[in-house]
Amino acid sequence: MRKLLALLLVVILVFPLTMATLSVISVSTWVLDRNFYTDLLGNERLYEVLLAEDLPNYFNRRVVREVDSVPAQALSAALREVVTPQYMRDEATRIVNEAFDVIEGRSDALDIYLDVTPIKAALRGEGGTRFARTLAANLPTCAEGQESTVPGGTLLRCLPASVSTEEAATIIGAALPLYLDKVPDQIDLTGERINLRRDLRGVNFMMTGQDALNMAIVVLVFIAGSFWFVAALIGGEDRRERLMWLGWSLLIPAILVFLIGLPIHSDLATGWVRFGLNEARLDGFEYSLEFRQALIEVSRTALNTIANGFLMAGGVAGAIAIALIVWGGSTPSEKRYAPMMAAPMTTAQPQQQPPAQPPNEPPSGSV
C-alpha cells in the first residue's frame, strides 16, 4: 500500500513538477540574457540582404507611400548610399536594449520604432546627391503612356525618353527637400505604445524580470524537491530503497528534458523555422528568399543555445539521478528481523507423589 501511494505521488506530482522545474532552468540560461539577443542581431549579413529588397519595399509602403512607387531594385541601390548595415544593426540593438530596460525595471514604456533621423540628415547633405544620382542611374525607362511620377508624387519612378540620367538626378535632388519634409522622424513598428504600468495595473514592479525568474526557479525547486523526498520516504523502507526511489523518480524527467533538446539541436527545428518564415508576412507581404535564408542561419545559432540549455539541465539532473541509483545499489539492505514470540505459558501440573508406604513391620514371631 505504501509503494502504491508513493508511485501515485511520483506520477501525479513529482514528474510534472520536476519537468517544469528543469524546463524553466533550461530557458533561464538565455531568455533574459540581453547579450543573447544583441549577438544574434549583430550579424551584418542579415542587414545586407535586408537592404537588397525587403527594406526598399518597406520604405515604399511606409515612407514613400505612393501607389506604383519607386522600383525596389532602384530604391535599394539608392538607399545604400545613405543606409548602411551598421545603421540597421545599431537600430536593432537599440530596440533590444530598450526592451530590456523595460524588463529590468529601468523604464515603464516601450516604443518600437525605426529612427529615420540619420537617414533624413544624410539625404539633406552630400548623401542626397549620391542618392539622387544612384536612383536616376537605376530607374527603368518609362513605358509608353506611363507617367514618370504618380499624381501627387515627388520622386521619379521611371525615366522619360526625353530625360537623361543627369537631368533625372537633378530633378530627384530638387524634389528631395520637399519630400523629406513629409517624412516622419520615426516609423512606428507596433502601432501602439507598450506601457507595462498601464497595462498591468496592480502588479508589483519592484522585482525585475530576472529576479522574478530566479524566484520562480527557487519556488519550483522547493515544491518539486519536497514532494520528491516525501515520495521516497513513503516508498522506501530503508536507506537503500529510498535512494533508489530518489534516483528513478528523477531520472525519467531528466531523460525527457534531455530529449527535448535533441530535436531542437537537429535539422528538424530548422525545418519548422523555415516553415514559420514562409508563412510570416511584413505588412501583408512575405519576406524575400535571401532574407529568409539569412534568418534561418541566425536562428540556427539561437536554436543551438536553446538546445544546450535543455541538454545541460537534463544531463546534470540525469547524472544526479544515476549517482543516487548507484549509491542506492551499493548500499546494503537493512536486515529486518521478526520480533521473537514468547513461549506460551502452561499451567504447572502438581507432581504426583508416590503413595505412602506403610512402615516396615518386623517379621512376625520376632522378639
Q: Give the pLDDT score at 339.
A: 54
Asked whether residue 335 carries a pLDDT value surpassing 70, the answer given is no
Is 144 domain-assigned? no
Q: Give the pLDDT score at 229.
A: 94
**Domain with 6 in it:** 2-116+184-330
The answer to pTM > 0.75 is no
Tell me the helices (H) and strands (E) count for the chain, helix number first. Answer: 15, 4
From CA 86, how far away is CA 80, in angstroms rounded?
Answer: 11
Asked whether residue 320 carries a pLDDT value surpassing 90, the answer given is yes
Is 136 domain-assigned? no
Asked whether residue 207 carries a pLDDT value surpassing 80, the answer given is no
Task: Rounding to the nearest 10 degrees, give the CA dihedral for residues 130, 136, 139, 145.
Answer: 150
Q: Give the pLDDT score at 25.
A: 95
pLDDT interval class at 22 (50, 70, 90): very high
Asked whether residue 231 carries a pLDDT value surpassing 90, the answer given is yes
pLDDT interval class at 202 (50, 70, 90): very low
Is 355 domain-assigned? no
Is 199 domain-assigned? yes
Arithmetic mean of pLDDT, 22-35: 92
Q: How many domains does the chain have?
A: 1
Q: Which three cell numbers stand for residue 190?
A: 507596433
Q: Give the pLDDT score at 110.
A: 79
Is 177 domain-assigned? no
Indicate the angle between helix axes 289-330 and 267-279, nearest 10 degrees.
140
Is 179 domain-assigned? no
pLDDT interval class at 345 (50, 70, 90): low
Is 159 domain-assigned? no
Map residue 266 onto helix, strand or coil: coil
pLDDT interval class at 205 (50, 70, 90): very low
Asked whether residue 358 carries a pLDDT value surpassing 60, the answer given is no
pLDDT more than 70, % of the chain = 79
Is 264 domain-assigned? yes
From CA 145, how far away is CA 159, in angstroms rounded?
Answer: 12
Mean pLDDT score of the chain: 81
Block residue for cell numbers 512575405? 286
253-to-10, 266, 309, 317 alpha-carbon distances in Å: 11, 21, 15, 9
- Tell me the CB-side half-sphere exposure of residue 331, using CA atoms within 13 A: 15
Asked whether residue 88 carries a pLDDT value surpassing 90, the answer given is no
Q: Give the pLDDT score at 308.
A: 94
pLDDT interval class at 352 (50, 70, 90): low
